[in-house]
Structure formats: structure tokens, C-alpha cells
């Protein structure tokens, strides 16, 4: 089981802010912005580069969930960043596709 699957199963605690049948959303334990949450599909896909055509609906829902969470956290109007790391060179630490939602302050470009 990945770390995220263990969070879904409540084997590891997390500061969960929303959960439904398809996604769990919780605060990152090492926030890089005032708002930094992870949007995690419950169905594990190791990384974006492993997604298949049949994952298209889930991938679209992932972005719509990020928009919904940004609105609920009050960062939709001021702006937010969505990050998906895919693979070790991108900094992916958990082999389970997830999206970082960051906001609450001006974010520099290019990112690190």
C-alpha cells in the first residue's frame, strides 16, 4: 500500500479537509505556501505517465476537484497553482498520482 492508500484506510493520520467516493483532500505535511493541499484519487495510478485512456474521466475530475477546493479555501479569485509531479526527477515522492494545490500568496515563476 502507498502512503496515500494508508491515509484513505485511516492507517496513517492526516488533516483531511474533504473526502468523497473518488478523492481525498488533505493538508500537505510540508506546506510550501499558506494553502498547500493534496488532492488524491482513491484509485491508485503510480504516476501521470502511467495513466491510460480509461483514466481520462478521473484525470478531468481531478482538475475539477482542484477548482472546487480552491473555491472552498478562498483562493480561487486571487489565483492558485496546480502541480503534478511525475517521476523521481520531478520530485514525486509517493508512487500514487496526486495533485498539489498551492495558493494564498504570490507564487514565483519559474518554480524550483
**16-19: strand order across its sheet:** 16-19, 23-27, 35-41, 99-103, 80-83
Cell numbers given for 70: 480552491
Q: How many CA atoms lie within 13 A of 93 on its CB side?
A: 7
24 sits in which H/E element: strand 23-27
Positions annotated as catalytic residues are: 98
Amino acid at each position: 500500500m502507498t502512503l496515500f492508500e494508508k491515509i484513505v484506510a485511516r492507517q496513517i493520520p492526516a488533516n483531511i479537509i474533504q473526502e468523497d467516493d473518488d478523492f481525498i483532500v488533505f493538508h500537505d505535511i510540508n506546506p510550501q505556501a499558506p494553502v498547500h493541499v493534496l488532492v488524491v484519487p482513491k484509485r491508485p495510478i503510480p504516476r501521470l505517465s502511467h495513466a491510460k485512456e480509461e483514466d481520462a474521466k478521473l484525470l478531468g475530475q481531478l482538475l475539477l476537484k482542484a477548482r472546487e477546493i480552491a473555491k472552498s479555501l478562498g483562493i480561487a479569485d486571487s489565483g492558485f497553482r496546480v502541480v503534478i509531479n511525475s517521476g523521481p526527477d520531478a520530485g514525486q515522492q509517493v508512487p500514487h498520482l496526486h495533485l498539489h494545490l498551492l495558493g494564498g500568496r504570490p507564487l514565483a515563476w519559474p518554480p524550483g
